[in-house]
Amino acid sequence: MIARNQLIELLFVIAPQSLLLDIAGSAEAFRLANLHRERRGLPPRFRLRFCGPTAIAPTSVGLALTGLEPLPEKLTRPTWVVLVGQPSAHANIVTPEIAATAQWLNQTLHNALLAEDPPHRLVTICSGALLAARAGLLAARRCTTHHELLSMLRTLAPKAQVVDNRVFVVDGPIASSAGITAGIDLALHLIAEECGEALAASVAEDMVVYMRRSSRDPELSPFLVHRRHLHAAVHRVQDAILDKPEHDWNMAELAAIGIATERHLLRLFMDHAGLSPLRYLQTVRLERARQSLERGVSVTHAAEVAGFRSALQLRRAWTRQWGGSPRDAASAADAGHELEPYAARKPSERPFATG
């Protein structure tokens, strides 16, 4: 596990004919994450590096990237190795550069990714998953790739659990995305894990993209359901809530953050987020509680961490939101089962989705 104050090396592996947007989109997200950390008085979390089997590599649009580092002999620090994709016409061609890169990946990452607590992570974008498969890195992991390449991925990694129709999939140290813009979604998800949801939301706002938090339950997070807007005042209030959901917020405090009257802030939230500020706060708290329960904590502790005044208050909110009780979630986590995705519930079973 990487310590929170430790710099993460982001090593982009770039072969000839790589998709330029696969590189630039996710790299820009991580750059902005460092920028927002700086604005918060925090040290950078990511160090971006770019390497490849050749020092110069033409990209999918014809623009050549120069000055690429050689593939390192070994990874001396905690590293996320990012494999970007190529256009479909090139994805099934094993060039000498691809063969050399696959061999390097196997020698460098294969054993490390099998460790119980691996120091490194593999991130694939689009057909980058095919390169990971050729390197023998996917094993029996869940993974995905561009929809046109799913069959090829199954052929190259017959033991892997290839998942259809997913923006991205995270299984332990291996994170894979469907392609191009999905790589940005995956980057935002990883940033949220390392730097917090509020900071990742700020990055998404800067990039003017919708934030996809999870492939398993794509609408479970308040980010996707309630942040598909560009209103600055509403974003400020949402960021404050996400930073401190345990705070005993009231409308007067939230209105001060939004620089609006309470009535006007309520109207802004209803117009842009689809629910009231306090309903949004409760939705965030419920999600925090759900995450804690999936990690195996008690209902009482989950309520405390999420900002509920008591386990009883959490149980009441949980029943209104999803039915059942938090104890059901705790039991499911103990048994190794996932909760039913929020997006799979009928609208009538999601009372907070429309406010």
Q: Which of 271, 269, 273, 272 is nearest to 255 (CA)?
A: 269
Of the candidates 101, 100, 99, 119, which has an alpha carbon nearest to the alpha carbon of residue 111?
119
Q: Is there a domain that residue 109 lies in?
A: yes
CATH number at residue 104: 3.40.50.880
SS (H, E, C) 43-99: CCCEEEEEEECCCCEEECCCCEECCCEECCCCCCCCEEEEECCCCHHHHCCCCHHHH
Q: Is 1 within a domain?
A: no
- Specify whether the backbone of 41 is left (phi greater than 0), alpha (psi in -120 to 50) or beta: left
Q: Are residues 100 and 21 in the same domain?
A: yes
Q: Is residue 216 assigned to a domain?
A: no
Do 156 and 240 lie in a common domain? no
- State whether 187 and 275 are in the same domain: no
Residues 255 and 332 in one domain: yes
Domain annotation covers residue 291: yes
Looking at the fold, whether 254 and 190 belong to one and the same domain comes out as no
Give the count of domains, the chain. Answer: 2
Task: Specify the 3-state DSSP secondary structure of 124.
Answer: strand
Domain extent at residue 159: 8-200
Residues 160, 272 within the same domain: no
What is the pLDDT tens value at each position of the chain, 355 positions in all?
Answer: 455 668 999 999 999 999 999 999 999 999 999 999 999 999 999 999 999 999 999 999 999 999 999 999 999 999 999 999 999 888 889 999 999 999 999 999 999 999 888 889 999 999 999 999 999 999 999 999 998 899 999 999 999 999 987 889 999 999 999 887 889 999 999 999 999 988 998 898 898 875 444 444 443 456 557 877 778 899 899 989 988 999 999 999 999 999 999 999 999 999 999 999 999 999 999 988 988 887 788 999 999 999 999 999 999 999 988 888 888 776 665 554 444 433 333 333 333 322 2
Tell me whether residue 149 is in a domain. yes
Looking at the structure, do residues 120 and 183 belong to the same domain, yes or no? yes
Which one of 166, 200, 234 terminates a domain? 200
- Determine, yes or no, domain membership for 192: yes
Query: Residue 10 carries which DSSP code?
Result: E
For residue 252, what is the domain's CATH number? 1.10.10.60
Same domain, 145 and 229: no
> Which DSSP letter does residue 336 get?
T
Q: Tokens at residue 278, please? A: 């306090």
Burial 257-295 (b: 16+ CB within 10 A, else e): bbebebeebbebbeebbbbbbebbbbbbbbbbbbbbbbe
